[in-house]
Amino acid sequence: MSIIAQHGDIFIILACAFGFFMAWGVGANDVANAMGTSVGSKAITIKQAIIIAVIFEFLGAWLAGGEVTNTIRKGIIDTTQLEDDPQLLVYGMLASLLAAATWLLIASMRGWPVSTTHSIVGAIVGFGAVGLGASTVDWGGVGKIAASWVVSPLMSGSIAFMLFKSVQHLIFENRDPFAAAKRYVPMYVFMVGFIVAMVTLTKGLKHVGLELGFGESLLYATGVGVGVMLLGGLLERRVGNERRQDDAFGFGGVERVFGVLMLFTACAMAFAHGSNDVANAVGPLAAVMTVVQSGGQVGGEALVPWWVLVLGGGGIVVGLVTYGHKVIATVGTGITELTPSRGFAATLAAATTVVLASGTGLPISTTQTLVGAVLGVGLARGMAALNLRVIGTIVMSWLITLPAGAILAIVFFFMLKGMFG
């Protein structure tokens, strides 16, 4: 207990600094994934992507991020075994933040779209198993998270495949694709608004004091979907069908309609990403603050102050602005050639998968979900549409991430333990 009392202020300062570094990594690597399809398909510019990310990442984190923050904070290791040595949990969470952030810096410099969730979960498992003993790790919880790494890309890829096939059938194979786009795109806009609103209302608002039944949530989500659809319809009217010289098939007007739709899916993906991935930076930070402020109590309830979310949001924005362009290039143009219609299918599929997982408290990998969705869109056009060399590099970086996070966390854990005793 004396170590917590003696160095409590230093621990909180370190947690904030490492948390900001981790949030920077989330911005440099993961927000780039969330915006890669929109920028890669030229539906929005980098500047617009940053503005959307700032607003909707924060809203997602604040409104729907509580469930996943709890999983990261106390769902991976059994904190009750550390009641006699609470400082070990502090060292471990600090080491995990620093380890995951360091790996994300390396990956972002290389342009690899790795998973911040893999990084932080691997780091926490690493320090828990080696520094505290394998019995402290909740292997059942880790198994559920690991299963989601297979399920999430398969799920998002399947949804993206079906969405893009429906777009091809309803719009591109129609006699008048532009008129068909005007007719059917509002339906897709409604889906974006309804899905995000439904999952947020049913799962995400308990911690802000708003608990709604399923029927009420359905009603409100339908209202949100209709509102978003009407707004999309107003924006859609401004899109003309002027044909350019480089437009061989006459689909330019259709793609411009989907460009409007990509604005909505970019907002949905940013919201979904904020709800799931802010926990990677805020979860360990919340754990450290809870232990220090409670004088060494390990199982206390974490009240995350508003300024911690601002710190996390600020780090995400700085990361996106400084290094995000490298990973945006890999996801947006490296895997398969994206147009607004293909990007829409990938982004909506990924957002749906991430928001569903966020509602259930499962910290899935946004990166894997989005890459799975982009692969699904590519497969809908045939294997020749995929860049297998880039896909191989991405998969290799995913496999390295878990052990890299774990090894770095073990090193930093023993360094902190040596420094503070």
Domain ranges of the chain: 2-420
Q: Which two tokens stand for residue 14?
A: 């370190």
**pLDDT at residue 407, rounded to an integer:** 93
At residue 252, does pLDDT exceed 70? no
Please, what's the b/e burial string for 358-391 (b: 16 or more CB within 10 A of its CB; e: otherwise)?
Answer: bbebbbbbbbbbbbbbbbbbbbbeeeeebeeebb
The confidence band for 231, taking pLDDT boundaries of 50, 70 and 90, is confident
**pLDDT at residue 249, rounded to an integer:** 47
At residue 203, does pLDDT exceed 60? no
**21-30, 177-186, 388-397: which has the highest mean pLDDT?**
21-30
Give Cα 161 distance to the centre of its chain: 20
The better pLDDT of the pair 369, 360 is held by 369
Could you tell me where the DSSP H helices lie in 168-251?
Answer: 177-199, 214-236
The better pLDDT of the pair 25, 326 is held by 25
At residue 307, does pLDDT exceed 80? no
Query: Is residue 228 a contact partner of residue 189, using CB atoms and an 8 Å limit?
Result: yes
Query: Is residue 346 a contact partner of residue 41, using CB atoms and an 8 Å limit?
Result: no
**pLDDT at residue 333, rounded to an integer:** 66
The confidence band for 74, taking pLDDT boundaries of 50, 70 and 90, is low
The confidence band for 320, taking pLDDT boundaries of 50, 70 and 90, is confident
Whole-angstrom distance, CA of residue 240 vs CA of residue 254:
9
Q: How many CA atoms lie within 13 A of 104 on its CB side?
A: 37
At residue 197, does pLDDT exceed 60? yes
Mean pLDDT throughout 59-77? 63
**pLDDT at residue 199, rounded to an integer:** 65
Q: Which two tokens stand for residue 400?
A: 């390295």
Tens of pLDDT, residues 139-153: 887 777 777 777 888
Which among 371, 270, 419, 337 is positioned nearest to 42, based on CA atoms? 337
| CA gyration radius, the chain | 22
Average pLDDT, the chain: 78
The confidence band for 51, taking pLDDT boundaries of 50, 70 and 90, is confident
Mean pLDDT throughout 237-254? 60
Whole-angstrom distance, CA of residue 231 vs CA of residue 147:
38
Question: Global pTM?
Answer: 0.78
Whole-angstrom distance, CA of residue 196 vs CA of residue 304:
24
Whole-angstrom distance, CA of residue 401 vs CA of residue 105:
12
